[in-house]
Structure 1
Amino acid sequence: MTNTSAKPLRLGIIGVGKIARDQHLPAIAASSDFILMAAASRHATLDDQPNFASIETMLADGPQLDAVSICTPPGGRDRIARAAIAAGKHVMIEKPPGATVSEVVALQQLASEQGVTLFASWHSREAAGVDAARNWLAQRIVTRVAIHWREDIRVWHPGQEWILAAGGFGVFDPGINALSIVTAILPQALIVESGTIVVPANRASPIAAQIALRLPNDAPVQLDLDFLQTGKQSWTIAVETTSGTLLLTEGGKRLFIDGAEEILDLDTGEYPRLYERFSALVRDRQSDVDLRPLQLVADAFLVSRHKRAVSFDF
């Protein structure tokens, strides 16, 4: 799927951190739908690009842009996205789309009023096994779901102090990826019931969590999150049904049905597919803002017991 306009969309990137360098910049460089025109970041710059300290200075003094891609931590994204939308730019936001549900709802309304695209992206939904899993589950009755998202914060978020600060989501930053997948593949809505959230004594956001959810048919859904997993990392979703079992592993990249691995198309990566989707939304003058994963995280914080753990340092 490509942009059908004569010229690629002129794009600015906001936030030049690890996720931008690892995923966004390579996807943009490989895309015929976008041309990177500028970057805005408080602490980093890009070679061979105009660089600005803020989105405000980029919009005022930088090159003409059609769209921006926001790759900053969730705290403060509201101001950035609001400035871009008010300037008439189409906006793509890295997950999670904001620090709170209400701020994203307000952005959605503003984008509609301004007539621009707002794309709250969920990259894990673009993993190779997700579409096939959704199709397989569509006509089945789910009886149990077990989600294990266990990874080493020091490997995947080295030195990123913001992720354990207030509004940083902590272990729910990767955990929301799992929730983005299950909300996409399960035929019924999820409801949060209870949980335990573990917060280090010197931090504001959780390092681990165990959350109990259920489906409307009372099928239990267990979410197990851990930021201190060493050795083999685990990103799995197991779904039992009345007519077979489905297993997604490696964050949705591999799919097993009753123990047998399905053959999947692995050619296109998650982030190239996100930018294809963004281009299509702009072309069709549409927005895509699914708040369900963020709402589930908010609900988990509302109903869970908070438990203090030993201090954590990188």
Structure 2
Amino acid sequence: MRGAGAGGMGRQLKSEPIALLGIGKIARDQHIPAIARSDAFHLTATVSRSGGVDGVENHTDIAALLAARPDIGVVSLCMPPVPRFDIAMAALAAGKHVMLEKPPGATVSEVHKLERLARAKGVTLFATWHSRHAAGVARARAHLRDARITHVQIDWREDVRRWHPGQDWIWQAGGLGVFDPGINALSIMTAVLPQPVHLTAATLAFPANRDTPIAADLVFAGAAGLRVDAAFDWRQEGPQSWTITVQTTDGELRLTDGGATLHIDGVLQTVAGIGEYPGLYHRFAELIEAGQSDVDTSPLAHVADAFLLGRRTTVAAFHD
């Protein structure tokens, strides 16, 4: 449920100490720089078994962090979704405000359980979708609010060896495979379309030696005959493509570069933003101040539907 109240009174944040858990590629590339730019938070501690951050105290697990630093009331979780649930439960049970890297969980049900615990403890839970903070997304949503949409084409094609080198967890059950980037497209789709859509067909291509798909073709249906076609592929070589094209009765809207660039009827639009991950931490601070949570599971539900409804095909084995 998007924007659900977390209970309790809001409070003004003034550079609150925050702990970052899971110091991998996404933490180093995005979270640490975003926190460094934030006026609301300063990085005070990390939890990592493979190395922390220079100049910041590090702990081996969530229990050690909670015992050593009861003064830290805010945590951001960056580890893969399968091990994240128990850590999030421990943090919420201890009364911490929790931010979840996308996808918010390995299953929809566990995210709902986290949401219930956050509500019971009166703390903020923020299930993030970083692509919704891409520069062109808010403008696209506003433009489409009253539009008559006839067709949407999503093309999300990238080279897994370039973007996820050596990340075996992503090929294991619960790792999502090509839906790890594809869910970013679904998070934009669910943000900009004025009416919901539902999955009607899917084909999932699994490498012979992997538990998660390397490609997926999806079809969604909406009101008044709306159709959405989505193609996700991790085998793209050369130029990478993260594009959403929306046809309306009044013209065409196109988001490219993962939502960063917006064209309307072929004309480049001027859009601005503070950046995807800085935008997440700004939103997290707003939610804590307001005493609210933001837990929208709709992109994850679409992925779950794809695994439920999808026709499985086997393709060539993948070797990193």
Q: What interval of TM-score do these two structures reach, taking the shorter chain for normalisation?
A: over 0.9
Matched, 1:88 2:95: yes
Matched, 1:214 2:221: yes
**What is the distance in 2 between the residues matched to 1:116 and 1:73?**
22
**What is the distance in 1 between the residues matched to 2:304 and 2:149?**
24
**What is the distance in 2 between the residues matched to 1:204 and 1:263?**
42
How much does 1:217 deviate? Answer: 2.1
Partner of 1:107: 114
Identity score, percent? 53
Partner of 1:239: 246
How much does 1:4 deviate? Answer: 7.2
Q: Residues 185-264 of structure 1 correspond to what in structure 2 (within 5 A)? A: 185-264=192-271
Matched, 1:49 2:56: yes
Matched, 1:283 2:289: yes
Partner of 1:269: 275
Partner of 2:155: 148
How much does 1:42 deviate? Answer: 2.6
Alpha-carbon RMSD:
1.2
Partner of 1:296: 302
Residues 108 and 178 from structure 1, CA distance in 2 versus in 1: closer, same or farther, beyond 3 angstroms?
same
Matched, 1:18 2:15: no
Deviation by residue 1:92-140 (Cα, 9 ceiling, x = unmatched): 0010000000000000000000000000010000000001100110111
**What is the distance in 2 between the residues matched to 1:77 and 1:235?**
27
How much does 1:6 deviate? Answer: 6.6
How much does 1:154 deviate? Answer: 0.8
**What is the distance in 2 between the residues matched to 1:61 and 1:187?**
46
1:133 pairs with 119, 128, 140, which one? 140
Contact 1:199 1:306 survives alignment (8 Å): yes
How much does 1:44 deviate? Answer: 2.4
Structure 1 length normalisation: TM-score?
A: 0.97
**What is the distance in 2 between the residues matched to 1:22 and 1:116?**
27
Contact 2:13 2:289 survives alignment (8 Å): no
How much does 1:265 deviate? Answer: 1.4
How much does 1:214 deviate? Answer: 1.2
Amino acid at match of 2:275: G
**What is the distance in 2 between the residues matched to 1:289 and 1:6?**
21
Regions of 4+ moved over 4 Å:
none
Matched, 1:184 2:191: yes
2:35 pairs with 13, 28, 34, which one? 28
Partner of 2:174: 167
Deviation by residue 1:158-178 (Cα, 9 ceiling, x = unmatched): 111111111000000000000
**What is the distance in 1 between the residues matched to 2:14 and 2:138?**
31
Structure 2 length normalisation: TM-score?
A: 0.95
How much does 1:10 deviate? Answer: 1.3
Higher relative contact order (CA 8 A, sep 6+): 2
Residues 79 and 164 from structure 1, CA distance in 2 versus in 1: closer, same or farther, beyond 3 angstroms?
same
Contact 1:50 1:62 survives alignment (8 Å): no
Which structure 2 segments of 5+ residues have no match? 1-9
**What is the distance in 2 between the residues matched to 1:5 and 1:287?**
15
**What is the distance in 2 between the residues matched to 1:187 and 1:251?**
19
Partner of 2:5: none
Contact 1:191 1:213 survives alignment (8 Å): yes
Which structure 1 segments of 5+ residues have no match? none
**What is the distance in 2 between the residues matched to 1:199 and 1:213?**
21
How much does 1:215 deviate? Answer: 1.1
Amino acid at match of 1:158: P
Amino acid at match of 2:125: L
